[in-house]
Structure 1
């Protein structure tokens, strides 16, 4: 045998022994999920039954529960989460229903179906790092360094003086709050990345990790802040939000040394598409529309095109459940009316209300409302069906 043939045989044998680059372990895919109460998630697990009632959602439900209908763990997907109870207390483990906001019953946010769908798309180990606190704004709480200090506008300063408040004290208090949750978010991400094996037992340090994406799902506290956004409801009324979000994206990428990390903006959509708003919703349609446009605006900046994506969560809204919930306002009004009628006994009031409700809803509609809703409209009705579809949409935004 020639020396060249012997050399080739040795190289082939060595390649078979150690594996080719194509068979080498891939980096752990890390996704960061950040926001306020809707990223926490207020969809009660008991509302999963609503997905079973809808043929289009039934297949998604099968990936969330086992054959007995109990939540099942997602293979090769781990999660670490802080903020679910309003503190920095960590919850971590294999992804399963229950990583939503703390409360009297287990809940989910978008993390569950996001993890499920990313795993289906990638077929690789995944780690989700979730940091979400309810009632937090971008203009103050998540404000990033390059956005600069928070500046009170003239209307706010005049109101402080009218109320007899110490303006300097108000400014000092505000500056203490500025960026606090931005820093807490980054601190947790870094804490996790320094020792990934602590939360992801199968992590291979030799393969390393990749910051594969960031999801931002926030907005309510900015949308309702008439002090910071005095022109809300008018064109350009939320331009400050767009500017702050662009700074946030730049700063997060810079801090994590991930200049092209894909970024998804989950645009507020509680209530569904504005053009479908009913009579009781139309009074704030301009505010909702203006804010949603402002949230989406950074994706159109030239520097972000192609790696900042927009997901309109209004498209995951359940029109039927939303309408049934809106209709319940008539039941509440009737209840108040009956309570003021002193000629009726408690039993008579109950009977009258039951009869009114039966005229307003079919038995099937009442079942859908009872099964599908667990929270208020601004929390997407606490609907597992809505939240599951939002998480799915976030994942699809990252998929090739």
Structure 2
């Protein structure tokens, strides 16, 4: 996920009681640290890890995750972050070994797409061409391919992108997956999530020639303290099911993220429009983006890092 905690919110919480202690590890002499031993590449941006590597002018869980990794290793740490909002594992992130949906499902999708274009043409007096089956199929796996290409290109050009890595050969040491919201929708995505996630793990390991690559998954958690809606629970259960796959024992682990909720933001959000000034001190986005809570993101990032380090410590 991109990360939606505004830098303005982080700046406020980092300089005010009782939240400034949460951000103390990321600051020095009243400024945000830029780590020269933890480097990050996020789409068209790269540099030393600091705030701002989420959506524009925002931060995600990479901050806490990367700092924890930097403290754990003497070697330089490189984070290659690939995230595009609104993409499902069922479609855009669909891994190659999952194959394509059935011809019947694709035909149904094509008809729905044609209907949307016809309605839009009629409503807006347009004459846009109707989609073809090739258009429908082209969307499957497009983000998976982009992710793998970005990783490959970054590793090949690491020395040019990061002077700190000049003369060094990075290797892939772990994979973090935190996604799932868009798979809650539709008739097929929730049902397929578990098998598609297994395919994803197998495919990235095969592509990177690392059959036991440590994989940490953050389960969908926007429900926070509340019970998840049925389709959200389907995705959560599918993600947590990875903990029960025999071949993944000791090298894949899913953590819960709802239990790490920022309860202050959660309690204030329902009436945030009536308390804008108070809300701006705890959150910066909607519930589906974890309230844009820097505290929630930091907790998730820290827990993902701890879990990754546990897997690497037990890796055979």
Distance 1:193 1:270 in 2: 33
Partner of 2:124: none
Partner of 2:95: 144
Partner of 1:267: 219
- CA RMSD, 1 decimal: 2.7
| Structure 2 CA distance for partners of 1:158 and 1:93, relative to 1, 3 Å | closer
CA deviations 1:323-369 (Å, max 9, x no partner) are 1102347x4xxxxxxxxxxxxxxxxxxxxxxxxx6xxxxxxxx7652
Runs of 5+ unmatched residues, structure 2: 118-129, 311-316
| Structure 2 CA distance for partners of 1:108 and 1:81, relative to 1, 3 Å | same
Quick check: 1:178 aligned with 2:125? no
Partner of 1:29: none
- Structure 1 residue 150, shift from structure 2 partner: 2.5
Residues paired across the two proteins, number: 297
- Structure 1 residue 260, shift from structure 2 partner: 1.1
SS of residue in 1 equivalent to 2:176? strand
Runs of 5+ unmatched residues, structure 1: 1-38, 83-89, 230-237, 276-283, 332-356, 358-365
Distance 2:81 2:175 in 1: 10
CA contact (8 A) 1:141 1:179 kept: yes
Normalising by structure 2, we get a TM-score of 0.85
Partner of 2:54: 100
Distance 1:119 1:165 in 2: 48
| Structure 2 CA distance for partners of 1:65 and 1:286, relative to 1, 3 Å | same
The residue correspondences of 1:1-400 to structure 2 (distance < 5 A) are 39-48=1-10, 49-50=12-13, 58-68=20-30, 70-82=31-43, 90-102=44-56, 106-151=57-102, 157=108, 160=111, 169=131, 171-203=133-165, 205=167, 208-223=169-184, 225-229=185-189, 238-275=190-227, 285-328=229-272, 331=274, 368-400=278-310
CA deviations 1:78-109 (Å, max 9, x no partner) are 11111xxxxxxx1111111111112xxx2111
What stretches of structure 1 move > 4 A for 4+ residues in a row?
51-55, 152-156, 161-166
SS of residue in 2 equivalent to 1:184? helix
CA contact (8 A) 1:375 1:381 kept: yes
Distance 1:45 1:161 in 2: 40
- Structure 1 residue 116, shift from structure 2 partner: 0.4
- Structure 1 residue 222, shift from structure 2 partner: 0.8
| Structure 2 CA distance for partners of 1:387 and 1:305, relative to 1, 3 Å | same
Normalising by structure 1, we get a TM-score of 0.68
